Chains A and B, each alone.
Chain A
C-alpha cells in the first residue's frame, strides 16, 4: 500500500522531469498516468491495488456518517420519551481486529455513535467493554457492530 503510493509519487515526479514543466497540473497528469500503469501492473504487487483501499476508506466514512445520524435520532427518541423504560447495560465485545490502529478506530467509531460508549480495552486487545444506553438484547447490538463497522474496517486493512 505505502510502497504503491510512493511509487506513484515517484512516477509523477519523473513525468515532471521528462516534460520539463514543474507545475501542479503536470504533476497531476503524471500522477494519473502512473495510476494507470500501476493498475495495469497490479498483479505484480503482493497486496491489493491501493485505490480500492482508498474507496473502502471513503465507504467507511460514509457508513460512519449514516450511523451517526441514525443513532442520534434513536437517542433523541430515548430522551424525549415521557417514560424511562430503557435498560442501560455493559457488555463485552470480542473483536477480531489485530492491529493497534484498527482497534483504536473501532473503539472511536463505537464511542462517536451515540448510545454506545467504549469504557475499556482488555490487556490483550481482544475484548472491548462497551456501555450501551439501551440494551434489550445484547446479541443484536453485537451483531450490529460486527456487521457494520468491523466489516468495513477489515475491508480497509485487508
Chain B
C-alpha cells in the first residue's frame, strides 16, 4: 500500500531551512549563551534526517553529494590544527588566543580561536551522525 507523502514533503521543504538556520544560531551563540558546536551539529544532522524521512536515500544523496566520512576527517583536522597552532607561539598545547578586530561591516568584533575548534566539533558531529544513520539506512 503506497501512500501519498505530499503533505510531509511540502512541510519538510519549508521546515528544513528553519532548522538549519536555528542550528547555526546555536553554533554561534556557544560562547556567551547555551549552545555550541555539539548541539549545533546535532541539529543540522536532525534537519538532514528529516530530509531522509520525507524523501529517500538516493534523492538526498543527489541533493547533497557529500561523503560524511570526509566531513568527519576535516573536522578532526580543524580541531587538531587549532590545538597545534598554539605550539608555534611557545605556549602549551590547546592554548587559545583572542583579540578585538574592527571589521568593515560588523564593527568591533572579538575573534577567538575557540570558534575554529568548535567548527571542528560541529563538522565531526554532523559527519559521525550522518554516517551512522546512512549506514543503518541502507537496506541491502
The answer to whether B4 touches A104, judged by C-beta atoms less than 8 angstroms apart, is: no
The answer to whether B6 touches A125, judged by C-beta atoms less than 8 angstroms apart, is: yes
The answer to whether B2 touches A123, judged by C-beta atoms less than 8 angstroms apart, is: yes
CB-nearest residue of chain A to B5 = A121
Residue B11 interfacial (CB < 8 Å) = yes
Q: How far is the CB of A25 from chain B (nearest CB, A)?
A: 19
The answer to whether B3 touches A100, judged by C-beta atoms less than 8 angstroms apart, is: no
CB-nearest residue of chain B to A118 = B7
Distance A112 CA – B60 CA, assembled complex (angstroms): 30
The answer to whether A100 touches B4, judged by C-beta atoms less than 8 angstroms apart, is: no
The answer to whether B2 touches A104, judged by C-beta atoms less than 8 angstroms apart, is: no
Distance A125 CA – B10 CA, assembled complex (angstroms): 13
Which bucket holds chain B's interface residue count? Answer: under 10
CB-nearest residue of chain B to A124 = B4
The answer to whether A123 touches B10, judged by C-beta atoms less than 8 angstroms apart, is: no
The answer to whether A121 touches B7, judged by C-beta atoms less than 8 angstroms apart, is: yes
- Chain B contacts with A in 1-29, Cβ cutoff 8 A: 2-4, 6-7, 9-11
- Chain B contacts with A in 23-42, Cβ cutoff 8 A: none
Which residues of B lie under 8 Å from residue A104 when comparing CB positions? Answer: 6-7, 10-11
In this complex, how many residues of chain A approach chain B with their Cβ under 8 Å: the count is: 12
Residue A122 interfacial (CB < 8 Å) = yes
Q: How far is the CB of B55 from chain A (nearest CB, A)?
A: 13
The answer to whether A103 touches B3, judged by C-beta atoms less than 8 angstroms apart, is: no
Q: How far is the CB of B12 from chain A (nearest CB, A)?
A: 10
- Chain B contacts with A in 44-83, Cβ cutoff 8 A: none
- Chain A contacts with B in 86-128, Cβ cutoff 8 A: 100-101, 103-104, 107-108, 118, 120-123, 125
Which residues of A lie under 8 Å from residue B3 when comparing CB positions? Answer: 120-121
The answer to whether A107 touches B7, judged by C-beta atoms less than 8 angstroms apart, is: yes
Partner of B10, one of A101, A118, A120, A122: A101
Q: How far is the CB of A157 from chain B (nearest CB, A)?
A: 14
Q: How far is the CB of B82 from chain A (nearest CB, A)?
A: 35
Distance A122 CA – B7 CA, assembled complex (angstroms): 11
The answer to whether B7 touches A123, judged by C-beta atoms less than 8 angstroms apart, is: no
Distance A123 CA – B3 CA, assembled complex (angstroms): 7
State the A residues within 8 Å of B (CB): 100-101, 103-104, 107-108, 118, 120-123, 125
What are 5 inter-chain pairs, A to B, with CB distance below 8 A?
A100-B10, A103-B6, A103-B7, A120-B4, A121-B4
Closest 4 CB pairs of A and B: A104-B10, A121-B4, A100-B10, A104-B7
Given contacts A104-B10, A107-B7, 19 further A-B contacts (CB under 8 A): A100-B6, A100-B9, A100-B10, A103-B6, A103-B10, A104-B6, A104-B7, A108-B7, A118-B7, A120-B3, A120-B4, A121-B3, A121-B4, A121-B6, A121-B7, A122-B4, A123-B2, A123-B4, A125-B6
